[in-house]
A = this chain, B = another copy of it.
């Protein structure tokens, strides 16, 4: 096993262990010390003591502050060592200058969990960064787990263990309700914003963690604990940048296998930067696109913003699966029905085709000037008919819920304020027996009825289009659950030897030689040192041929005039050979030339790009897309974090917009898709097995008609001097 492989296997097993341990990391404690406790409620150390009381924490609370004898009814200790009993968790709420001493005290006392509220570390500049490094060194190897510094901290609402100073816990309308949601954020203020909004809509939480500077405990650690906790049924979060991408994959995969939706806002779509200039792969499979791929592969729901998050939490509270994509829509406005039908199409959902029986039943309750077809337009009449009108609505919804051709029912109410309580009663009754999601879009309904419904079984959202978006996310999540369990452990390297870049790096010819070894089909071509050798090879391989100057320093051969195509005979070959060597030399004076690559002209085919690179967060990734001159303008590409499953390369090809052309249509025969898939797999194996490979790019891979294979017509390979570890250190 290489060191990378061992590291990766350790990470994987560590992730799984954390998951199995029931959320041990920072999510529970039977006693807590507050270093910097205060009787002053406006200070962090004072606030914390109050939160613990308010939320009914049953463990022991030890205020620590040499200035006081008592803090909010608890005896106060002058120092941590003055506490006789063991301490499970320490919260550090002292000025930054005193933090190192406080953590040192914790280590002496044998405290295994610390939460550092204090700011004044890397977020403030170089001096703070120095202090942060010292703190990291202090705890290294001690077994202590530390949240922060500069963190809001962690809270276990069920246990009343609020080691978190978010203003959410001061919400005026009573305490945060305990419930089945875990929430973790890399932003304190934005996390507080989302958490508070959700709590105000009656969503109950078990955990809220905000991880600050993450010198030890990362957001992935927190998510892992939540995913493993049997009380937690959905996990939400806000991410700016993961530090431990491969571990995250294991945690997300665990969430998927446990049937727990993992809903994440991920911001910071920064472009690839300088890497973009180097390769198409880096330009197309940029950092953010790799997050997208990792999320899709593990069924993570990528959420746009706080509104989409609240919508999803409201829906997922009640139903966490949707058997298909067929939606029945009921409205009191034909216009809203058309708008919703458009939104369904935009989000990849369908208007359910109702059974004839359902249509007949609807005709009994839908006015003649409405529509008994999906989207069902009840018109506003049911609102004017009193109780019989409400009964009409109830019956319409019931028969749509009963129809086996529907997977969810969306009710648009818009204003509908009159008889709001009666409508709410009817919906609540329907929800009690419904086995499918029933969502109401009730923009301006009576607030108290909406609150009641949200707490009694029917998600009420304020916008019809956002309701559709939430249902689409639910459908995708449900689909992701049907996939087989997978592991993200990287495979054993096939060959023990490291690749070593030749001086100046890999030329096209050398890159192709490596790729051929891994199973990538390349033309029957030869690197020739002279005109005579080139002519002899061309005569043997057969005209027409192409000539290309081969040099590791020559990335853009066409631009340099270093390519000649469709050479038909020896005299053309001799002339072209001289010409391209001269032009290359003129383009980059002093260019070391390995020789000239002589290649038989390839027959027509579909051009793809197949590439891969080592992502700083998620490790090796592979990419396939439309190639040739369309590569960057079309951005028709799909990405996978490695390793690939069996059949996943073919699945990637099916995701391309160009796939119908590959599959064959009126203007062209089917292409050799199997060959293309094998080429993706070869590149994936190379990247997964050789951590020193930085990136690979075949562009174009020309794919010939079915049964006739494919050729890598050009290739780039970059190898780093030092092998990547494929994961960030812990």
Contact = CB atoms under 8 A, between A and B. Distances in A.
Interface residues of A, number: 72
A629 B369 CA distance: 47
Given A335-B189, A335-B240, A668-B629, A196 B119 contact: no
Of all A-B residue pairs in the complex, the 4 with the closest CB atoms, nearest first, are A187-B335, A190-B335, A189-B333, A267-B338
A559 B669 CA distance: 9
Interface stretch (A252-260, A394-402, A630-638): A630-638
A379 interface: yes
A306 interface: yes
A556 B668 CA distance: 11
A190 B120 CA distance: 54
Contacts of A379: 189
A187 to B, nearest CB: 3
A268 B338 contact: yes
Interface stretch (A487-495, A609-617, A656-664): A656-664
B267 A342 contact: yes
A464 B193 CA distance: 12
A124 interface: yes
A113 interface: no
A666 B268 CA distance: 30
Given A660-B633, A661-B633, A336 B193 contact: yes
30 contacts: A124-B369, A167-B380, A185-B335, A187-B334, A187-B335, A187-B336, A188-B333, A189-B380, A193-B443, A197-B443, A240-B335, A240-B338, A267-B335, A267-B338, A269-B345, A305-B339, A305-B343, A305-B463, A305-B464, A306-B464, A558-B666, A558-B667, A559-B667, A626-B630, A626-B634, A629-B667, A629-B668, A633-B657, A633-B661, A634-B658
Interface of A: 119-120, 123-124, 167, 185-193, 196-197, 200, 238, 240, 265, 267-269, 304-307, 332-336, 338-339, 341-343, 345-346, 368-369, 379-380, 414-415, 443-444, 463-466, 556, 558-559, 606, 626, 628-630, 632-634, 636, 657-661, 665-668
Given A465-B304, A559-B666, A335 B191 contact: yes
Given A167-B380, A190-B335, 14 more contacts: A120-B369, A188-B335, A189-B336, A190-B333, A190-B339, A190-B414, A267-B338, A268-B338, A556-B666, A558-B667, A629-B661, A629-B667, A630-B658, A634-B657
Contacts of A123: 369
Nearest to A464: B305
Contacts of A657: 633-634
A119 B379 CA distance: 13
A266 B290 CA distance: 35
Nearest to A413: B193
A124 B368 contact: yes
A186 B335 contact: yes
B306 A463 contact: yes
Nearest to A125: B368
B443 A558 contact: no
A212 to B, nearest CB: 12
A197 B444 contact: yes
A630 B630 contact: yes
A463 B380 contact: no
B190 A306 contact: no
Nearest to A172: B417
B661 A630 contact: yes
A369 B120 CA distance: 8
Contacts of A339: 190, 265, 267, 305
A341 B268 CA distance: 8
Contacts of A380: 167, 189
Nearest to A414: B193
A488 to B, nearest CB: 27
Contacts of A415: 167, 192-193, 196-197
B336 A414 contact: no
A196 B200 CA distance: 26
Contacts of A636: 633-634
Contacts of A345: 269
Contacts of A119: 369
Contacts of A124: 368-369
Contact of A189 (B268, B334, B466, B559): B334
Given A658-B630, A661-B629, A333 B666 contact: no
A306 B193 contact: no
A322 B668 CA distance: 49
